[in-house]
Amino acid sequence: MPKISEFFGIAIYVYYREHLPPHFHAIYGGQEVLVAIENLSVVAGSLPPRAMGMVMEWATQHQPELRRVWDQAMRHEPLGSIEPLK
């Protein structure tokens, strides 16, 4: 699984051979959420509110990088990493 970032126990992934819309996966404490990159809406799943807030804050700060990593995944290129939330 291509992990692109990790912070406060939250792991962020973008997978190869994914379906549209462009999205990323956030996993925390056995729960998972899929978040659309373009509008940062939840596609599926859920996280505890505090973890979800951190994911959204991180995604807002790194939306252009998320688009770049999604494009890399769709071209089956090595994925770049993205700075964690600080």
> For the segment 20-59, what is each residue's pLDDT rounded down to a tens digit?
999 999 999 999 999 999 999 999 999 999 999 999 999 9
Mean pLDDT of the chain: 96
Q: pLDDT class for 1, splitting at 50, 70, 90?
A: low
pLDDT at 7: 97
- Please tell me the pTM assigned to this model: 0.95
Helix axes 49-61, 63-74, angle to 10 degrees: 80
Question: What does the block give as tokens for 58?
Answer: 């991180």
b/e map 15-24, b = 16+ CB within 10 Å: eeeeeeebbb
